[in-house]
Chain A
Amino acid sequence: MTSEKNTDTRIWFGELTSSRALRRRGLLHVSPGLFWILIFLTVPALALIALSFATRGGYGEIEWIFTFENFTRLAGYGMFGWSPDYLIILARSLWVAFVTTTVCTALAFPLAFFIAGKPKTTRYVWLTLVIIPFWTNLVIRTYAWQLVLSPDLPIARFAAALRLIPAGSPLYPSEFAVYLGMISAFLPFVVLPLYSSVEKLDWSLVEAAHDLYSNKRRVFMQAILPQTLPGLSVGAILTFVPAMGMFLIPDFLGGAKYMLVGNLIQQQFGKSRDWPFGAAVSLALMLLTIIGLFVFRRKGEKMEVI
């Protein structure tokens, strides 16, 4: 890396230049990618904030009349009094993302340890087995769950035999189906980073804990868990953020019964053509995501201290 000194001659790729000339050349490298992201993501994302205070015109056009209406509507105040529909959708999204992340983490541990325990020659085969569903298109994987839960197949028959559902009906759309879809979609996101942490695990610490008569729980909490936290938190973030805004899985497996905030946003930018309200919901989603990440981080730090 270039040093922070304030001299005006610098070496770059083996050439002697001034730092100003260097920066000019650096901009040449950086600007295409930077402008691309700025124009198509960063600036429009900021525009979302402005848009959320605008009004929808009669034909779905945007009128720049400053209003808090989108937010009061999100909070449930409408023409017909107060109803918590949108708040329920928001809370549900947060809850589904939280449960998905937790279950994925719990399931990822045995799998990561299992793979790490295999001899080096077969390890990559097991890893490949985790990567294949990970790379398979989400539309395909989500449809596949519809298929598995369809009426004539064993799972729905079993549920019907238990009288959980009427005979001949599928197990979707339902809350249960959304959880199945979500967990299987995001599981590899946790397994892969967790595995890379487990692979580097220092087992001498685990042995030391055993030698000092720690019980299994303490060995796990104090000798294993802290070492796997980097991978675990990466996995949790990679799961939580996309799970919060997920639109496809509730669309296929939850139906109108189990709508999440992603579906609400999609509706506003699509069918309803109410961009200002869509922007307000997007803003709420961003905020919830940030709060959720903050909670995960706080928890992560606490775990390190235990």
Chain B
Amino acid sequence: MQIKRRPLLIPTLALGTLAFLYIPLLAVASFSVNNSRFGLTWHGFTWKWYLELFRNEQILEAVGNTLLLGLVSTVIATVVGTALAIGMSRFPWSKKTSAFFEFNLYMPVITPEIVFAGALVIAFASLRYFSSVFEPGMLNMIIGHVTFQVAFVALVVRSRLAAFNNEIEEASHDLYATSWYTLRKVILPMLTPGIVSGAMLAFTLSLDDFIISFFTAGPTSVTLPLYIYAEVHRGITPKIHALSTVGLLVTILLVVASQKISNSFNEKERDDA
């Protein structure tokens, strides 16, 4: 059902807005196959910038760092965040304690990223004062990423937990299951879609992050966003177009994969019901 309006107005505005989102991306992709070292005029088609990517050690190292950071921090954040969500919603906390938990959970969401980054700088400096670790580098980056990822994983998993009630757990008890058995065989399987989508979100947040990495990275832990940032400041190089296009393609793959995964969960649920 639709409202009676000038029928073309909404589609025109909508498609125009989408075009606005895609013009820059298409521009980058088309210049990535432009055979010209300087300037942006068209000099014919070439794959050579892509080949250059695979030969560039700095870029390969940055790819490695990005994946290492993303995977390690996502694994930590998923485990810790899931535990946090279960702990917050399945135990008899007093109102004050719950409010304290909530406050901390929403801190990473409501703090402007640049303030978050400043806070991390302060945290690491204070910790360095008492110990010799926490120099800028991969460890600090992982810690920084986990800090915001934990909150998002916990929020996603918790909304999932809120969707089913205690009855199932009580039924499990009536059938003489131990709490550990219930957690393993009843709660976690039901939570899996929530945990997986929380982890996917955490991973993309990590790949997407620039500011936190910028403030916590050391010279040996340059990630792709940091590398691109530095290159852009150095001046336009065609490599960056190729690198950005690869980044765009990886994003498309991630989006499609995550939708496939969540769709398959939905279908499975429909079948179960």
Specify which of B14, B39, B40 lies most central, judged by the most chain A CB atoms within 10 Å of its CB: B14
User: Do B208 and A148 touch (CB < 8 A)?
Assistant: no
B84 on interface, CB distance cutoff 8 Å: yes
The size of the chain B interface, using a CB distance under 8 A, is 103
User: Do B92 and A22 touch (CB < 8 A)?
Assistant: yes
Among B218-242, those with CB < 8 Å from A are: 224-225, 228-229, 232, 236, 240-241
B178 on interface, CB distance cutoff 8 Å: yes
User: Do A13 and B118 touch (CB < 8 A)?
Assistant: no
A residues less than 8 Å from B1 (CB atoms): 203, 206-207
Q: A42-B104, A207-B1, A242-B112 are in contact. Are A269 and B150 (CB under 8 A)?
A: no
The answer for the CA separation of A22 and B108 in the assembled complex, in Å, is 28
The answer for the CA separation of A104 and B199 in the assembled complex, in Å, is 28
B46 on interface, CB distance cutoff 8 Å: no
User: Do A45 and B115 touch (CB < 8 A)?
Assistant: yes
Category for how many chain A residues contact B:
35 or more
B101 on interface, CB distance cutoff 8 Å: yes
User: Do A147 and B178 touch (CB < 8 A)?
Assistant: no
Q: A135-B208, A148-B23 are in contact. Are A124 and B10 (CB under 8 A)?
A: no
Q: What secondary structure prevails in chain B residues at the interface with A? A: helix
A107 on interface, CB distance cutoff 8 Å: yes
Chain B's nearest CB lies how many Å from the CB of A116? 10
User: Do A41 and B183 touch (CB < 8 A)?
Assistant: no
User: Do B11 and A23 touch (CB < 8 A)?
Assistant: no
A residues less than 8 Å from B194 (CB atoms): none
Specify which of A11, A124, A136, A183 lies most central, judged by the most chain B CB atoms within 10 Å of its CB: A136
Interface residue from A36, A48, A153, A286 paired with B146 (Cβ < 8 Å): A36
B residues less than 8 Å from A136 (CB atoms): 25, 247-248, 251
Q: A37-B150, A124-B259 are in contact. Are A32 and B84 (CB under 8 A)?
A: yes
Which A residue sits closest to B215, measured CB to CB? A269
Chain B's nearest CB lies how many Å from the CB of A270? 8
Which A residue sits closest to B103, measured CB to CB? A42
The answer for the CA separation of A32 and B119 in the assembled complex, in Å, is 19
User: Do A111 and B255 touch (CB < 8 A)?
Assistant: no
A residues less than 8 Å from B146 (CB atoms): 36
The answer for the CA separation of A188 and B21 in the assembled complex, in Å, is 9
Which A residue sits closest to B204, measured CB to CB? A135
Which B residue sits closest to A261, measured CB to CB? B114
Among B44-85, those with CB < 8 Å from A are: 80-81, 83-84
Interface residue from A33, A184, A252 paired with B150 (Cβ < 8 Å): A33
User: Do B83 and A33 touch (CB < 8 A)?
Assistant: yes
B residues less than 8 Å from A33 (CB atoms): 80-81, 83-84, 87, 150, 154
Provide a sorted-by-A list of 11 A–B residue pairs whose CB atoms are within 8 angstroms.
A13-B169, A14-B174, A22-B91, A33-B84, A36-B143, A138-B210, A141-B24, A146-B236, A210-B4, A282-B114, A285-B112
Interface, chain A (partner B; CB < 8 A)? 1-2, 10-15, 19, 22-23, 25-30, 32-34, 36-45, 47-48, 51, 107-108, 110-111, 113-115, 117, 124, 128-133, 135-141, 143-148, 150-153, 183-184, 187-188, 203, 206-207, 210, 216, 219, 224, 241-242, 244-248, 252, 261-262, 265-266, 269-270, 275, 278-279, 282, 285-286, 289
Given contacts A117-B2, A137-B228, 11 further A-B pairs with CB under 8 A are A26-B93, A29-B84, A40-B120, A42-B104, A137-B225, A139-B228, A139-B229, A147-B241, A269-B117, A270-B215, A282-B114
* For the complex of A and B, 4 pairs with smallest distance between CB atoms: A14-B173, A29-B87, A245-B112, A26-B91
